[in-house]
Structure 1
């Protein structure tokens, strides 16, 4: 980010929804640290108050407890805001399969509420968390933004509907939007607990407890694991994007490389064994494949590089080392 863009961010009032979650809280910290005025919205349905604790003393940070399913909460949070970073959602493919109605109510109904509130408040730009799950059953690799398949889960459907609504709100109400299709984001503050914990923090916690990580399937499935700082960069570049060609579209938000689950576990064992050599000897277990899982994900990030000047700084190895260090210091 150049100085003029940092200055633009510093002078802006930015709303982060889902602010107590993993990605949302990291975005809040970055923005508050550079001097932006940040309004944070969260219902604590899946986010944690502890994720915002370091921000409570900042004068340029304001927290609103509210639910995106409540239009009044959305309107209140958008008052006086320049840009929205919409991260609030119910993640997890398995969660959406177990309870498609709630996933739809939050991810579609809540999303629509935020678009309406943003339109009514005259927001300059609405940047939202899209998902790589939108690629569905498309077998082509790497994934290119204009080539998607049929969604494989209720969660994937909700995230695709978000993109359709965003496109429609530009056409109908002239609200500028940018969607960021996140690819398996990981890093500090990602919750290792709960039935729907993401694979990296879950495996880290199991290994630190000397438990065998359970891989669904044979471990050959691969993912484009994306470190949180790359995601922060993409959100910032989306806010400052001013070229018409860069607006009202979607971007893969990834590193542009893929790692199998077997390779992932071996890397985690290697980096954790620096702190505790016994971890290197822990065996891996295998379980059944999960319904709705996409076998492989790999993003083309050419579009983001060209139109947003995106330059990811962390590959899987450097990102995992940072993440493992954070987990060891904070959760051991």
Structure 2
């Protein structure tokens, strides 16, 4: 693992939730880290801690601008491409911007990485790619039809990555993230992810609203498992392990009802009143899949992935972080 220590990593979207956690981790391992972000959804406070680190470089730029991408990949060994416009509902309201960022921006990054002769391009793919496929657990080579513009963009990313591997010899690995959560995930805004949103509401003694009856389930994946997958994808020397996609998850599922039960339990240790907050049920949300559960056998076998955090273990850590940082 030491052979890459002098390597330079470009993390696009490095001021976002997942990106800033990746920046922090790889800086702690003494890599040189370049962060490209336009701060559309990322936050300056996420990278503030790194600004005085001589191994950290911040480039303010937009992946929709090819020149920004070309500047960012100069002298870079590995790209961890996290920059994207997330959120199924946002993509339904504004499919054009979602496509511009997630498809055109992705293609710009591939072209820039190819031309700069980057060693490997690792990118955030999505469990939304499974679409309407009903089988559980989700296995990488069996997908359905996408259920939202966002899902289409993430599937197109995989298709482009495969073509760039075949046509230009650029090594690519896609990581299909399953409901990632943890420290630095933004609880604010219209498109906040469910866990930080629920945590904020409970901390303020507000009633969270569950879409539907609460029996929809997700493979909630703690951020440290995602960091592990990115590192393994970057350092693997197994030729069979590249130019493909992997589920990035824990391999277990939790209903929204159970999620709120755990959150109330863990948060009640800080404020006993939280145990009595009422939960409200609203209508189901357009584009949502009922159940999501990953098979992680492929990642275990080819990358030696061994997730350290179950959903509940990660949730305890996340709750503690939110309590200490957002009160």
- What is the TM-score normalised by the length of structure 1? 0.98
Match of 1:198 among 193, 199, 221: 193
SS in 1 for 2:106: helix
SS in 2 for 1:255: coil
CA distance in 1 between partners of 2:171 and 2:256 (Å): 37
Which stretch shifts more, 237-246 or 122-131?
237-246
Task: State the shift of 1:241 in Å.
Answer: 1.3
Task: State the shift of 1:244 in Å.
Answer: 1.4
CA distance in 2 between partners of 1:38 and 1:20 (Å): 12
Match of 1:166 among 161, 166, 174: 161
Match of 1:179 among 174, 183, 194: 174
Task: State the shift of 1:22 in Å.
Answer: 0.0
**1:55 aligned partner:** 50
Question: Does 1:109 pair with 2:104?
Answer: yes
CA distance in 1 between partners of 2:171 and 2:190 (Å): 36
**1:43 aligned partner:** 38
Match of 1:231 among 221, 226, 231: 226
**2:283 aligned partner:** 288
**1:148 aligned partner:** 143
SS in 2 for 1:40: strand
CA distance in 2 between partners of 1:11 and 1:256 (Å): 33
1:304-315 equivalences under 5 Å are 304-315=299-310
Task: State the shift of 1:242 in Å.
Answer: 1.6
Task: State the shift of 1:93 in Å.
Answer: 0.2
SS in 2 for 1:162: helix
CA distance in 1 between partners of 2:216 and 2:321 (Å): 26
CA deviation profile, 1:266-317 (whole Å, cap 9, x unmatched): 0000000000000001110011100000100000000000000000000011
Task: State the shift of 1:184 in Å.
Answer: 0.1
**2:115 aligned partner:** 120
SS in 2 for 1:167: helix
**2:93 aligned partner:** 98
SS in 1 for 2:52: coil
* Superposition misfits of 4+ residues, deviation over 6 angstroms: none
CA distance in 2 between partners of 1:305 and 1:45 (Å): 35
1:121-140 equivalences under 5 Å are 121-140=116-135
CA deviation profile, 1:95-145 (whole Å, cap 9, x unmatched): 000000000000000000000000000000000000000000000000000
Q: Which runs of 5+ in 1 are unaligned?
A: none
- What is the TM-score normalised by the length of structure 2? 1.00
Task: State the shift of 1:8 in Å.
Answer: 2.9
SS in 2 for 1:94: helix
CA deviation profile, 1:6-32 (whole Å, cap 9, x unmatched): x13422100000000000000000000
SS in 2 for 1:180: strand
CA distance in 1 between partners of 2:251 and 2:316 (Å): 18
Question: Does 1:249 pair with 2:244?
Answer: yes
CA distance in 2 between partners of 1:323 and 1:199 (Å): 13
The aligned length equals 327
Question: Does 1:29 pair with 2:24?
Answer: yes
Task: State the shift of 1:202 in Å.
Answer: 0.1
**2:12 aligned partner:** 17
**2:81 aligned partner:** 86
Question: Does 1:266 pair with 2:261?
Answer: yes
